Amino acid sequence: MWRCGRHPGTRIWRRRRSSQEANRQLLPLYVQNLGYLKPVSNDVHSFRKLSVSTFSRWFKVPIFGLSGVHTSDVCDLRTFCKRECHTDALDIHKQKLKLWFSHLPQEEKQFGGCFSPETMHIEPLILEGHPAEDKPGPFDIKHDKGASITIEELFQPTLDTRDQGVNVLLYGAVGTGKSTVVRKLVLDWCIGSTLSQFQLVVPFSCEDLSQMSRPLSLRDLVGKKYVHLRKTPMLSGELDQARNVLFIFNGMEKMKLDFRMASTELCSDPNEALPPGAIVVNLLRKYLLPEASVLVTTRLSALERVPQKYVTRYAQICGFNDPARQRAYFTSRLLQQTGKESHKDELIELLYLNLRQKSQLAAACYLPSYCWLTCATLHFLHFTDDKAPIRTLTGIYTSFLRLNFGGEVLETGGGVSSQDQQTSLMRYVVQTVGKLAFDGVTKKRASFSEDELEQWIGGKTKTDEELQKLAMFRTDVLDFFLVPCVESKRSYDTAEIDEKHYVFAVPAMQEYLAALYVVLGENKTALEKLTKQVSATIGQAGDDVTTLFSILSKFIPFKIFAVFNLLKLFPSLLERITLHSKGHIARTMAAEMFRSEDSFNEDVLDQVEQSLLGVHGPQPEKHLDVRAFELYPIFMGGLLHYGNRRLLEQLGCSIKSETVAQITGTLKKQLLRGSTKKLPPEEMMDLLTLLYEFQNPRMTAEVLQSIRAINLSTVRMTPLKCFVLSSVLSCCAPGFLLNDLILSSCHLTQDLLHLLWPAFRHASSLNLQFNHLGPESCALLRDLLVEPNCTIRSLQLCDNNLLDSGVSTLLDSLPENQSLQHLSLMHTGLGDAAALELAERLGKHTGLLELNVAYNNIGDSTAVTLVDACREHPTINTVHLYLNQLTDVGKQSLYNLQQGGSGRHVRVLASVMEGSDISEDWRPILSIIGKNSISWERERVREQLLVFLRDLEWGRQQQLSFWKRLHFRRVENGVKQTLLMLEKASSIGSGTSNG
């Protein structure tokens, strides 16, 4: 009980008091007079303790707002302040942890950035048990679901840890989600939803700790990272305050922990300076803060670094071992954005159908990391729009590797360190797994036997250090890239395959690593490596032949050493050998990229989607090696982009600038040479995708200068493909024009037209036939035509359901447009009302040459009015009117209109007959009908063809010469052939539907 009273020397103190001292003296009396402090006796006043918050609220000022008031003078304010400061420090700690751990890496922004770690987290399967125990595989879901354990359950005390904290070792393979679980654990603790028994959680990154060289005490180590915890009493070691503390050490494989007494001394003082590794060791030994609990996450290769006697519980993260968890992950990712929910729901259903069939995709998605890659790829393929940041397929895979491996390096001792002088882990992956991938791509193989893995990855006899690296690599990394082939597993029962085969978890990863293997120059032959060393040595040795041969003999085998004796007699030989290696990477890359036998004439982006989803869910079982490798050149081009090269440098895979210049120059020559050829639509889309992956505007513009037409007819255009086309054409100068931009039968909709707007500005002839454009799409086309710099001379909108309303909107552009010369509105649902409006507005546009309104709902009188307006027009010379609602009287009226009356002569294509004679335009009419008859309404086309035959038969019965009758027969045969082709197509279609 604290007492306040008078002391000797009070009068002296009163004489010397200042204004601040007066406040300090009067404060206890003021509190007493208010009745808040009750005196216990008459001589000495004893006061009850007040909380700081109550004290501050009563006085309406902060606790340190009174000038000169010391805590020792006011009711044990020192104790109150200490308690309040401690509470404030914990609150600050939670706020900062929540801020830090809620931060998402740059790679997550591609999903729209509209979700938080709480909403996107799916808890992986966690099983308690020693590493030696069997754990379920990707498709082993027979284990009791109740065996799964939560993180909170791992810290329940046991009989052995009654007076000590719990040490939990959480281990798992690369990509199983260890860091994600830690992130979610910390965030849940910050909001109070888990681990409420711990007042303080202190997370550390072992990678950061491994970088520290200066010894620090535990309290200084915590204070260095968390300044607000510098004076927290929980880490003082007094009493059992550390019982409320949980330390988290994430990624223990990146630290060297030595539990031998000779290497790591015992320490129980939190204020004694030690290396970070020694602090972790003593925490696990329970010698330093024994009451504190510790959570350590690690990969499989580092499990034995912590002796079993220091581990209270082992727990393994087993990833997503069932399709339900995988589906929940994809749903949380792909359904975050609003809009087009039905389309996204269909995508989720297709994905889940594939996962339930235990496909190769399901095997890959056993690892949450590959769920992320699959989700990122699907998001890239389906939800790219003009507002999204620039993303490439190569960039997604490069980011995926950076997220999983960072800048890790291999250490000769078998561990992983962060020292720059060590071997880059990703470089080691390229030299081993990349070499296997390149061999598979070269030989068009996607599955590999165990012997082949040993040949390409194990290699020949190695040193002890290399064997240690290889052992760590096999344990932690190899299974991340290569998984057992699902088809091989299924065929064991039938004894079709005796040997177990492996495939890349995601097929595109094989092509990415193969491309990286080439671009990094890892596929050089022994002779090329030798000549490179010879060239460097000669540059240092000069003309001293004796010195030269003494140096060469150290690394050149004796059986080929005699070859270099010829350098004395033939100095030019070395020059030729050196030139042989110059630019080899560029030539190899160009040759591999443009091998004609590798092209299967399929859209590369569609292949990516089919490899993930199948055509309609799971693909039928087939031999995995029978597949194309179109992504291989796409990745090689994308790896040259500066953004990907910068990420690769963080992984220890630097691509030199001179190498990029060599490759880019060689590829540009190859692309310029190939762009002059007429490419099929699928290959043209692949070329555009390649240029997009390059992200090199200057080279793209140079390549496109030699392309005069882009034909993407029948290519199923998606938002991504539309974005690719617009992005590539945007690299060209504003004055660049394509003769033809053909986008017929591409499944275009109004939304896709917005993405294609930049591409339309570079088109002279725009073909949008046979798409899904409606009346609302005409508003965008109208805005395009009224632009001051519009360059479109020909616009073809055949077979789009524009209707009268859409055509009327489009006609609003005629007064302002000056470029349009050919307008095709064939089979667009055009009726008499819009046709009459067209006839009225034709006079406001002076440049139109040809008008096609065939196969619509135009009647006799409207057709006559329209043709009459065309004759009054100064430039129109051709009008298409066949397959409309024209009677014989209407056709005759059109014929009479052309024969007499005022106005210009206009070519009118209405029938194969003109009066009693054959029309001069019967060939183009039948040609157009023959090309489109399969997609048009067959019964209506058939009726029109029968009308043509009837008219021809009537004309042939007139008094004609032999040559005239022969001509009629010829035209009749053409009509009959078109009719026969239509009937065959109808029978095939009905047979397919019945089947």
What are the E-state strand segments in 50-125? none
**Residue for token digits 């007079």?**
33
* Partners of 147 in beta bridges: none
d(CA 724, CA 710): 13
For 410-466, write each residue's pLDDT tens digit: 765 444 444 444 678 899 999 999 999 998 888 888 889 888 888 878 766 567 777
**Residue for token digits 């009346």?**
775
**Residue for token digits 């199948």?**
614
Please state, in angstroms and as integers, the Cα–Cα distance from residue 170 to each residue in 35, 208, 316, following that order: 58, 19, 6
Amino acid at 805: S
Cα three-residue angle 147-151-155, rounded to 5 degrees: 100
Split at pLDDT 50, 70, 90, the class of 566 is very low
The neighbour count for residue 41, using CB atoms within 10 Å, is: 9
pLDDT, mean of residues 896-914: 75
d(CA 664, CA 299): 40
**Residue for token digits 């399969």?**
934
Closest CA to 322 of 142, 175, 118: 142
For 954-967, write each residue's pLDDT tens digit: 766 665 677 777 77
Q: What are phi and psi of 852, to 5 degrees?
A: -120, 110
| 826-848 core/surface letters (b: 16 or more CB in 10 A; e: else) | bbbbbbbebbbebbebbeebeeb
pLDDT, mean of residues 183-212: 92
Closest CA to 411 of 265, 305, 533, 521: 305
| 510-547 core/surface letters (b: 16 or more CB in 10 A; e: else) | bbbbbbbbbbbbbbeeeebebbeebeebbeebeeeeee
d(CA 690, CA 315): 45
* Partners of 316 in beta bridges: 127, 171
* Partners of 503 in beta bridges: 447, 483
Q: What are phi and psi of 742, to 5 degrees?
A: -100, 115
Q: Which residues contact 396 (CB under 8 A, 6 or more apart)?
A: 110, 373, 376, 377, 380
Q: How many residues does the chain have?
A: 995
d(CA 594, CA 664): 14
| 667-692 core/surface letters (b: 16 or more CB in 10 A; e: else) | bbebbeeebeeebebbbbbbbbbbbb
Write the DSSP string, 446-506: -EEEHHHHIIIII-S---HHHHHHHHHHIIIIIHHHEEE-HHHHHTTTTTS--S-EEEESS
**Residue for token digits 């496909």?**
359
Closest CA to 806 of 830, 840, 771: 830
Higher model confidence: residue 78 or residue 85?
A: 85
pLDDT, mean of residues 484-489: 68
Higher model confidence: residue 497 or residue 591?
A: 591
Q: Is the dihedral of CA 958, 964, 969, 975 positive or negative?
A: negative
Asked if residue 780 has pLDDT above 90, the reply is yes
d(CA 326, CA 279): 39
Read off the tokens for 204: 């550390």
**Taking a C-beta distance cutoff of 8 angstroms, is the pair 638, 399 a contact?**
no
Amino acid at 452: E
Read off the tokens for 169: 């070792």
Q: Across all residues in the chain, what is the average pLDDT?
A: 76
Q: Which residues contact 282 (CB under 8 A, 6 or more apart)?
A: 264, 266, 267, 268, 274, 288
**Taking a C-beta distance cutoff of 8 angstroms, is the pair 314, 128 a contact?**
yes
DSSP 842: G
**Taking a C-beta distance cutoff of 8 angstroms, is the pair 903, 950 a contact?**
no
**Taking a C-beta distance cutoff of 8 angstroms, is the pair 916, 926 a contact?**
no
For 392-413, write each residue's pLDDT tens digit: 999 999 999 998 888 787 765 4
User: Is beta strand 245-250 parallel, antiparallel or unpaired with respect to 293-298?
Assistant: parallel
The neighbour count for residue 643, using CB atoms within 10 Å, is: 15
pLDDT, mean of residues 556-573: 43
The 3-state DSSP class for residue 54 equals: helix
The neighbour count for residue 25, using CB atoms within 10 Å, is: 15
Read off the tokens for 938: 């067959």
pLDDT, mean of residues 533-548: 45
d(CA 368, CA 318): 10
Asked if residue 868 has pLDDT above 50, the reply is yes
Q: Which residues contact 356 (CB under 8 A, 6 or more apart)?
A: 323, 362
Asked if residue 51 has pLDDT above 50, the reply is no
d(CA 598, CA 735): 36
- Please state which of the ranges 81-90, 544-553, 717-726, 831-840 shows the lowest mean pLDDT: 544-553
The neighbour count for residue 957, using CB atoms within 10 Å, is: 10
Asked if residue 845 has pLDDT above 80, the reply is yes
Helices (H) and strands (E) in the chain — how many of each? 44, 24
Q: Which residues contact 974 (CB under 8 A, 6 or more apart)?
A: 922, 923, 926
Asked if residue 70 has pLDDT above 50, the reply is no
Q: Pseudo-torsion of CA 928, 931, 937, 938, nearest 10°?
A: 110
Please state, in angstroms and as integers, the Cα–Cα distance from residue 675 to each residue in 508, 580, 725, 754, 957, following that order: 26, 28, 15, 27, 55
d(CA 944, CA 948): 6
Q: What are phi and psi of 952, to 5 degrees?
A: -70, -40
Mean pLDDT: which of 531-535, 647-651, 653-657, 925-929 is highest? 647-651
Q: Which residues contact 963 (CB under 8 A, 6 or more apart)?
A: none
pLDDT, mean of residues 880-901: 80
Give the per-residue pLDDT at 436.
Answer: 92
- Please state which of the ranges 12-26, 340-354, 952-966 shows the lowest mean pLDDT: 12-26
Amino acid at 435: K
The 3-state DSSP class for residue 200 equals: strand
Give the per-residue pLDDT at 31.
Answer: 35
Asked if residue 561 has pLDDT above 50, the reply is no
**Taking a C-beta distance cutoff of 8 angstroms, is the pair 822, 794 a contact?**
yes
- Please state which of the ranges 4-8, 518-522, 571-575 shows the lowest mean pLDDT: 4-8
**Cα diameter, the chain:** 149
Give the per-residue pLDDT at 970.
Answer: 79
Amino acid at 199: Q
Give the per-residue pLDDT at 15.
Answer: 38
d(CA 588, CA 577): 17
Quote the percentage of the chain above a pLDDT of 90.
31
For 690-714, write each residue's pLDDT tens digit: 899 999 999 999 999 989 899 999 9
**Taking a C-beta distance cutoff of 8 angstroms, is the pair 367, 505 a contact?**
yes
- Please state which of the ranges 10-19, 749-758, 769-778 shows the lowest mean pLDDT: 10-19
